[in-house]
Amino acid sequence: MYKIKDIINQIHCADCLKFLKKIPDDSIDLILTDPPYNVGKVFDKKQEKTYFDIKFHKKWLKECDRIVKLDGQMYIFWWSGFLKEITNILDYKQVLYWTKPFAMMRRGRRGWQNFTELIFWKVYSDDFTFNALKGMDSKDYFTDVSCINLPNERFHITQKPISLVEKLVGAGSNPNDIILDPFSGSGTTLVAAQNLHRQFIGIEISQKYCEIIKNRLKQKPLL
C-alpha cells in the first residue's frame, strides 16, 4: 500500500485499475473524474471502446468507494446515451448538467447532437462538504446547470473547462483536502485543485498526456 504523503501532488503515469488498489482505505476527500466515455474517442492514438464497458467501470468505481472518506464525495462526467447502464452501477445523489452553447455541430452522426453532458454526484453519508450554499448571496451562486463553453485552447479532445471543474472542486472540498482524478487526461482536475489550494493525486495511462499535465501544472497562471 502507498503512503499518501509519497503519492500526493503528483501525476502518476499508470493504469488506474492497478494504481487505485494501492491507495489506502478512507484517504480521499473528493474524487472528480471523467472516465473514457466509450463512444469511440481516440486518446493518444488509441481508440476507446464503443460500448459501455460495465466490467471496467465497476472495477474502478469499487476501488473509489473503498478509498473515499465517509464524509467524502465523487463527481463523474458521463454521457447521457449510457444513462441506463450508469444507473445500474452507480448509486448517485443527484445529476448536474453541463451545457456547451457553442459546441461544434458534427453532421452525419445518427443521433441528437450533444450540447449537454451529465455530471453524476455521489456522496457517502449525510456529512459531506457542500460549499455551494456559501455563494447563494452572490451572483455566481451554484445551480445544477452550468452553461460554460469548451476551452478555446485544448490539450486534450475531451478537456473540460477549468471554471466548471473549479466550481465542483470548490463546492465539494475545502483547502488542503485531497482530490483524486483516476482519468486525468490533460489534468484539468489537478490544475483546479492546485488553483484552489487543495492537494491532489492524478493518474493517467498515456505518457503523452502525463507530460502535458506536468507542463500545465508549471504554468502561471494555471489554465
Ligand X SMILES: C[S@@+](CC[C@H](N)C(=O)[O-])C[C@H]1O[C@@H](n2cnc3c(N)ncnc32)[C@H](O)[C@@H]1O
Q: Which of 7, 16, 31, 168 binds ligand X (CB under 6 A)?
A: 16
As a whole number of angstroms, the distance between CA 143 and CA 172 comes to 14
Cell reading at 77: 462526467
Residue nearest to ligand X (CB): 185
| Partners of residue 178 on adjacent β-strands | 199
| Residue 66 or 71 with smaller CB distance to ligand X | 66
Q: What are phi and psi of 20, to 5 degrees?
A: -60, -35
159 binds ligand X (CB under 6 A): yes
Per-residue contact flags (x/-) with ligand X for residues 163 to 182, judged by CB under 6 A: -------------------x
- The nearest distance, CB 139 to ligand X, in angstroms, is 26
CB of 70 to ligand X, least distance (A): 25
Are the C-beta atoms of 20 and 182 separated by less than 8 Å?
yes
Among 73, 173, 188, 194, binds ligand X (CB under 6 A): 188
How many residues sit in the footprint of ligand X (CB under 6 A)? 21
15 in contact with ligand X (CB under 6 A): yes
Interacting residues with ligand X (CB under 6 A): 15-17, 34, 36, 43-44, 156, 158-160, 182-183, 185-186, 188, 203-206, 209
